[in-house]
Chain A
Amino acid sequence: MKANYGYMDGSGEFYITIDTDLCIECADHGCVKACPAGMFEIIVDDYDDEVAAIKEDHRKKIKYDCGPCKPVNDRPTLPCVAGCTLGALTHSW
């Protein structure tokens, strides 16, 4: 499943997409450890699979919570994207 967490408001679209089919195969859950804002958690989804998700209390403000990882100039690789060895994560902005 592709799970899109985040939102679209007047100022733009801010989504983190998690390809949870890849999560099922994942052993080290690098995203959880990599994110300095502690935004990821591992949940058991509706189909009883163990997958990564963005915590509820971050979903409506990811544009702000991810701010420190996304300086206007010289944006480095995002820690979460680098931390996920299976390449399950993408950001829309």
Chain B
Amino acid sequence: MITAGIDMGSKYIKVVILKDGTVLGRAMETTGFEPVESASRCLDKAIKEAGVEMSEIDHTTSTGAGRKVAPKTDSDITDVGAAAKGVVNLEKNIQTVIDIGAEEGRGIKIEADGKVVDFAVNEKCAAGAGAFAEAMSRALEVSIDEFGQLSLKSDKAIPMNAQCAVFAESEVVSLVHAKTPKHDIARAVHDAIASRIVSMVRRVGINESVALIGGVSHNPGFVDSLKRALETEVIIPENPDYIGALGAAITASERTK
């Protein structure tokens, strides 16, 4: 049985092609202004990589913000449901999933079979998501990759007062004027997001085995701050960007049974 999972994110579209539990192909495209076209392109790319034909796909499930408009789809599943399914498929023991993208963050509590028990969401405010770090790296005039690395060099915790991305930008500018080293500013920024994320996740309860997924998992500075704030290890499953698409593809295979 061959299935496809499409994750229609607000910034990127991801597709996973699955055959009997094994990933055959995956692809990513920027969402852009024509999400449906981007998704079709992304699907074609993944199918090509998997070496299969569109007609061989038994079921396609989509997830993500734009899941209702996804092309060639048979069913859909929420972001939270897909994330949980995808994570337990790779890491059996996970009980808490933290999913942070550019525009929103989520804390999800799951059972062993990937069933969602509870979840809390932070959305529509850039201060609680990856966009906060991006805006601050722009204010510091470094790339987001560099920003993440810089943070690891700091051993100082400076508190940030502003709780808003716009006001925090001015705070960063005045820290620069006060000759605060860039790496300490980077850490202050990551610590600030991490503390907001952890407070949110506490509302569902935090267990020993925590997984981090979503775009922000590529930022080593943030991961470091998150571990400190959680006071526990954080597991990042392989290909963390594709977890939603993987979860959708798994759901698709369950639905064809």
Contacts and interface: CB of A to CB of B under 8 A. Distances in A.
A76 B127 CA distance: 28
B164 A9 contact: yes
Interface string A31-56: 00000000000000000000000000
Which bucket holds chain B's interface residue count? 20 to 34
Contacts of B73: none
A71 B205 contact: yes
Interface stretch (B25-33, B116-124, B179-187, B210-218): B116-124
B119 A11 contact: no
A67 B126 contact: no
B203 A70 contact: yes
Contacts of A9: 125, 127, 164
Interface of B: 118-120, 122-128, 163-164, 195-196, 199-200, 202-205
Contacts, number: 37
A60 B126 contact: no
A71 B204 contact: yes
A52 B25 CA distance: 60
Contacts of B195: 64
Contacts of B205: 71
A64 B200 contact: yes
Given A60-B163, A73-B118, A10 B203 contact: no
Given A64-B199, A67-B203, 14 more contacts: A9-B125, A10-B123, A11-B122, A11-B124, A64-B196, A67-B199, A67-B200, A68-B199, A68-B202, A68-B203, A70-B203, A72-B203, A72-B204, A73-B118
